[in-house]
Amino acid sequence: MRNLPSSEAGAGPETVDATRRTLLQTGLFGSLLLGAAGATATLSGCTGRTEATAAGYKFLRDADLPFLRALLPGVLGSLLPAAGMERDRLLDDLLHRIDLSGYRLGLPSQKALAQLFDLLNMRLTRRLMAGIGPWEESTPAQVQAFLERWRGSSFAVLNTGYRALIKLVAGSFYGTPAGWAAANYPGPPPGPYQVFNS
């Protein structure tokens, strides 16, 4: 099972299920979502997902990647280049930036984020909470409709998920050269930059 990377003491190997149990106690994502997640795990006989982080990643697991690959075009829309090498490279870069953001979180926030991804990855909770079919088959418009529902929801926990996802993606994108260009940000002042870096 995935070992959540952390600098915190006593943070031994943690399974996703252990994470869920902890969250049942701490209630970070609320009993609403946890109830749904637990029900799904029970109904489907699913006790967990892939055990290790995805190859080349420090935090994300294989099961997270299809969701994030669908989320990125949903959040970024036409900020992404058209299909091609440039787009593929940028998406890959953004996935790794998101991965690093997750990796650097403290254990409590890592657990919450892992749980959010779990909910969005498991079939029943995905349909129930996000109202969307398999991520591999979703269109950016469908992803945006899901984001809009979570933004508008009167459940604060869904607003939390909305804000976390937007922050991960937008914060990653606007830290790249493509993001700087999209923000019409010229970059650090060229004179001093040259002075420091020559």
Partner 1 sequence: MAIDDIYTKGIADGWKVVDASTLKQDQTYEADVAIIGSGAGGGTAAEILSAAGLKVLILEEGPLQTAANFKDMNDARAYGELYQEGAGRATSDGAVAILQGRSVGGTTTVNWTSSFRTPPQTLQYWADTFALKGGGEADMAPWFAQMEERLGISPWAVPPNANNDALKRGADKLGWAAHVIPRNVRGCWNLGYCGLGCPTNAKQSMLVTTIPSALKNGAQLVHHVSVRKLQFSGGKVSGLSAEALGPDGVKRSGVNITVKARHYVLAGGAINNPALLLRSNAPDPHQRIGKRTCIHPVNLSLAMMPEKVEGYYGAPQSVYSDEYQWKHGATGPAGYKIEVAPMQPLLGSVIFGRYGEELKTGMAQLPNMQSMLALLRDGFDEQSPGGSVEIDDSGAPVLHYDFSDYMWDGFRRAYLSMAELQFAAGAKQVMPLHLDSRPYESWEQTRTAIGGLQYRKQRVPVFTAHLMGGCAMGEDEKLTVVDSDARFRHADNLSIIDGSIFPTSIGANPQLSIYGFACKNATKLAGVLKA
Q: Can you give the binding site for partner 1, defined by CB under 8 A?
A: 5-11, 22, 26, 28, 74-79, 97, 100-101, 103-109, 112, 144, 147, 151, 156, 159-160, 162-164, 166-167, 169-176, 179-180, 182-185, 188-189, 192-193, 195-198
CB of 10 to partner 1, least distance (A): 5
CB of 183 to partner 1, least distance (A): 4
Pick the closer one to partner 1 by CB: 66 or 174: 174
CB of 96 to partner 1, least distance (A): 11
DSSP 139: -
DSSP 48-69: ---SSBPTT-SS-BTTHHHHHH
CA separation for the pair 62, 147 (Å, rounded):
22
Pick the closer one to partner 1 by CB: 89 or 151: 151
CB of 45 to partner 1, least distance (A): 27
C-alpha pair distances (Å), 157 with each of 28, 133, 162, 176: 9, 21, 9, 29
Q: Note the helical H segments in the chain.
A: 16-26, 30-44, 64-76, 85-104, 107-121, 123-125, 140-152, 156-173, 177-182, 190-197
